[in-house]
Structure 1
């Protein structure tokens, strides 16, 4: 069940989750962190593509639903962390991010990722289109201060546009699937 206080817009289709993952650089050996896992539409798809998935979900009711859904599907390579991502200690070992985070937290999440001692190798986020455009290094759009900071270490691009009907409830703003890949991965 959606908690309106958390500005949640859940991806509806497991098929779309798989398509988006197909547009990423996730590999079978990867550890992937999902921020705001919800009831598990993306989590289940990630579990089939990655070695280890860390599903971070701060809402206890939603985390319980996620746990139940993973057990029903016999998915065992997912670790559920009931915590706010902004308080979560990022791993010191290589990891990637794949998430449909609450839109109002997008800037804080990206700040945390790029200011971390151990940055992700890449991250894939569903973002408001207007915000994502400001993170690109392009002459066509204004690049924000956060975007200028981001492009020092990452190549950024919008991979795909998304439709309001892809979510429940549909967001009132245009959304995109955004990619940031480390320029010089360690």
Structure 2
């Protein structure tokens, strides 16, 4: 049986292929889901995405289903509990950033700023369709990811630098960076 053509990174492990085919690049418009994916991209910093995929269920369990209301109330004992959890990435800085990011997310909401509307507004509400043959190699960051990073940091977010933000933009479908020959490029483009 012929394997579909995928983006190169998705061909390195079955979990990567499964994630690529089902989730990566699919436009996500739910605020809480967007926030969860931003947090996971922050945890990925310095690691492979495969590491996060292998630990994603453990992350969801450890962080109460990524419920910002609950995470915003975490205290020092929760930080210690999470640091002792071998199922997740045990980085104090990333754990504390997640708690702060839950508070920043809730502050945006409480100020009448919907997370999804705010972020999708940066791309005009529709995914950016990139063409590698015309646009050149896939970037690790763009002027737009720098702009979004600055806007998030201004609102109190951490682990939201322009490289993390660009990887997150790809994951949540704000930009379609599927390779031209990838079997998911056109289906994802039609979703936008």
TM-score by length of 2: 0.27
Which one has a bigger Cα radius of gyration?
2
- Going by fraction, where is helix more abundant, 1 or 2? 2
Q: TM-score, normalised by structure 1?
A: 0.27
